[in-house]
Structure 1
């Protein structure tokens, strides 16, 4: 059986579902394919271990799609402050106040109510699936995988594992870092594996929901706290992230919950509230990956299929939403002009806008990674000077905050200057 659409989107994660909802609202006929079943949410269940820090810019996009009210009705935790500090021991550690180079980004200094929200990925995805399914011109093909791709001159098509063929003017690969669409289209990637891995822990702590997310940087990697919602009985949920060597994380994952809580309380900064329970834990490798092109004829990539970054600040999905919003705008303009949706000049506009923006965020995350994840004395001095400058100069600090919030698309000067002092980053 063959079904015809304007656009076929492969991958109904947060980014793919957002694009489908946006195009559906504009009247495009969209086929949305995903191997998984529809996401589910149960408020009585513990939070999912996969969470994201949605920026203010992403919130506006999700509100435009109609998904934000549903997200707020499920679980979304606003944070008004973001703190960063250096926990590395140095010769003067015993003489200087702890966290002398601490920087706190505060929404109030930006005349904003908050910096962003911490949201479970399943919550965001479910709200976006509902938005996409509510559009009459969007057809969802769940639980099905793509087995082949025809990237032709006059049209494109994908064949699903049940034999269904979906045709369209354009096929969008939104199927993640290991994108099958990208492989079928013959698009290569550049990839750099980081030495560290990340362990994520879903935990309860004693006390009210906090309004701050923070990261303490150690030579072995950062340790982060992301507040979630109330758990009842005076407790709250949080997502903890511990970056370290694969060997160390393997040891930590082998511990029982009581022992792991003790390790976390000992190794994390003292700002971590007392933990009472661990619900889940998982670790994963981290890598920077960038597709060599976002477009090949009638195939275009968005989100993690096009780029992955160091997850230090949880910015990956925000970049993906920016991709979706940009491509949505380009396709609307193509339709308004009566041109083919895969018109090379139109799709070139998408890549010319998004590739530099994504590279800027890659650079920003790598500045933090290379600057903090080491014991090299000159770099220790450099990072403390950088944090000290950001702390002393509110304007510089606010520029960084606006960039992280998705309000300002330009890389802050302080990050550009630090990148220029790190030789390994000049080639990014």
Structure 2
């Protein structure tokens, strides 16, 4: 049986890789299990056209976490897209946000998944002491008083003081730990693609609420190129995918009020189902969940990965404090501090997203008028509007050390 690890992270995505780096920086004896094959991620090839269809809106709090991990400069050296403004509207009601209103250089960044993965993987190479297990899955767990035995599908058994499930919405660790999860389909599929428009996006993120679901245009580094996220009922999403390009472009222009003029070109259109998930509880003795293993939300506010990174940074704070005080980092009492910290924050955002989806998904005419008037009133109330923006950017609240 191997020497006992301090922490074993399962899942090498953005949240799992970020947590692993943070643990290594703090001197924890750390292991990482990843189901996929170990292979180098290539940097962005600027000689080839097109963008990764998987992009994320990265908040200021997440930027600070990446800076603390030493990966932000590597991301910026490839391709990140800062945005200075945001427009949100339905019909006659609209809210506009501008970076100058809150004294910030920008409101956030749109970054491709490939860019972030490459930077994180390169940084991991600075820590040869990392124990990596690739093309590997956890088959079952055995609880002991002072450690957890983690049995792998390879027949190997690892021992760890703390096991962290960062393995996504269908988390195997969550299932093996016997942690229940409330799962509710949103009744939407998200369509994603990159598109080229006649008018420049002017570094502005835009979102329109439609009766069928929200449509977002996220600005990329090229002035006429945006990434779209269009939430639609499954049958409508399938119908959009079945259209030829001219017909799809016309439908997209119409849905977006032609705010960026004609749609000139589009990449391949991808679709994935949207589900609301929330684990109950987040922790058990020697086991903690982070990221999508804890909760999945509707992408209308682009907060999913930002919430996951805050999970990771908060868990790090809790176990560093426990280690400093010579307490057991895997004890349930320790891990419940993390649960109390993040559960309240997660519930606020989950409920807010549910509220937005239900509010704007109702086509009753008096309610449509009321919410559009409400948007106009909010737009005219600068203190409220700026407060909303600061919270979304991660500039307020009970933030972990890496995000401050």
- TM over 0.5, shorter chain: yes
SS in 1 for 2:12: coil
CA distance in 2, matches of 1:21, 1:191: 30
Partner of 2:396: 408
Q: Give the number of aligned pairs.
A: 394
SS in 1 for 2:221: strand
Partner of 2:43: 41
Partner of 2:207: 215
Task: Between 266-275 and 53-62, report the one with greater CA deviation.
Answer: 266-275
CA contact (8 A) 1:173 1:181 kept: yes
Q: 2:253 aligns with which of 251, 265, 270?
A: 265
Q: 2:349 aligns with which of 339, 344, 361?
A: 361
CA drift of 1:193 comes to 1.4
CA deviation vs aligned residue, 1:116-169 (integer Å, no higher than 9, x gap): 000012211221222233224322222322222223332113233323322210
Partner of 1:59: 63
Partner of 1:96: none
CA deviation vs aligned residue, 1:174-212 (integer Å, no higher than 9, x gap): 000000000000000112211222111222334556310
Is 1:339 aligned to 2:343, yes or no? no
How large is the RMSD of aligned CA atoms in angstroms? 1.7
SS in 1 for 2:363: coil
CA drift of 1:3 comes to 5.2
Partner of 2:144: 152
Is 1:117 aligned to 2:105, yes or no? no
CA deviation vs aligned residue, 1:380-416 (integer Å, no higher than 9, x gap): 1331232122111000000110111011238xxxxxx
Is 1:192 aligned to 2:184, yes or no? yes
If the length of structure 2 is used for normalisation, what is the TM-score?
A: 0.93
Q: 1:332 to 1:137 in 2, by over 3 A?
A: farther
Partner of 1:69: 73
Q: 1:245 aligns with which of 222, 230, 233?
A: 233
Gaps of 5+ in 1: 88-98, 411-428
Task: Between 35-44 and 183-192, report the one with greater CA deviation.
Answer: 35-44
Q: 2:171 aligns with which of 179, 189, 197?
A: 179
CA drift of 1:337 comes to 1.1
CA deviation vs aligned residue, 1:225-251 (integer Å, no higher than 9, x gap): 001122xxxx64321122221111101
CA contact (8 A) 1:85 1:216 kept: yes
Is 1:226 aligned to 2:214, yes or no? no
CA contact (8 A) 1:9 1:33 kept: yes
Task: Between 8-17 and 191-200, report the one with greater CA deviation.
Answer: 191-200
* 1:103-142 pair list within 5 angstroms: 103-142=95-134
If the length of structure 1 is used for normalisation, what is the TM-score?
A: 0.88
Partner of 1:415: none
SS in 2 for 1:169: strand
CA drift of 1:258 comes to 3.1
Task: Between 339-348 and 106-115, report the one with greater CA deviation.
Answer: 339-348
Partner of 1:78: 82
CA contact (8 A) 1:203 1:280 kept: no
CA contact (8 A) 1:28 1:137 kept: no
SS in 2 for 1:117: strand
CA drift of 1:273 comes to 3.9
Partner of 2:5: 5
* 1:9-24 pair list within 5 angstroms: 9-24=9-24
